[in-house]
Chain A
Amino acid sequence: MTESLIGALFVFVLASFTGFEVINKVPPTLHTPLMSGANAISGISVIGALIVAGDRSWNLSIILGLLAVVLATINVVGGFLVTDRMLQMFKKKEA
Chain B
Amino acid sequence: MSEFLPTGIQVAYLVAASLFIIGLKKLGSPATARNGNLLASVGMLLAVVATLLDRQVLNYEMILAGIAIGSLIGAIAAQKVAMTAMPQMVGLFNGLGGAASALVAIAEYWRLLGNASAIAPDSNISIILSVFIGGVTFTGSMIAFAKLQGIMSGAPIKFPFQQTLNILLLVGFGIASVYLLVSVPNPTVFLGIIGLSLVLGVLFVIPIGGGDMPVVVSLLNSLSGVAASAAGFVVMNNVLIISGALVGASGLILTQIMCKAMNRTLPSVLFSGFGTAEGTA
Contact = CB atoms under 8 A, between A and B. Distances in A.
B253 A23 contact: yes
Given A44-B47, A44-B228, A45-B104, A78 B93 contact: yes
A85 B250 CA distance: 22
A35 B217 CA distance: 9
Interface residues on chain B, size class: 35 or more
Contacts of A24: 28, 253
A61 B224 contact: no
Interface majority SS on A: helix, strand, loop or mixed? helix
A42 B75 contact: no
Interface residues on chain A, size class: 35 or more
Interface in B222-244: 224-225, 227-229, 231-244
Given A1-B122, A74-B96, A41 B70 contact: no
A31 B257 contact: yes
A19 B249 contact: yes
The 3 tightest CB contacts between A and B, nearest first, are: A73-B70, A19-B249, A78-B74
Interface of B: 1-3, 17, 20-21, 23-25, 27-30, 33-34, 36-38, 40-41, 43-44, 47-48, 51-52, 54, 56-59, 62-63, 66-67, 69-71, 73-75, 77-79, 81, 83, 86-87, 89-90, 93-94, 96-97, 99-101, 103-104, 106-108, 110-111, 114, 120, 122, 214, 217-218, 221, 224-225, 227-229, 231-254, 257-258, 261
Interface of A: 1-2, 4-5, 8, 11-13, 15-20, 22-56, 59-62, 64-91, 94
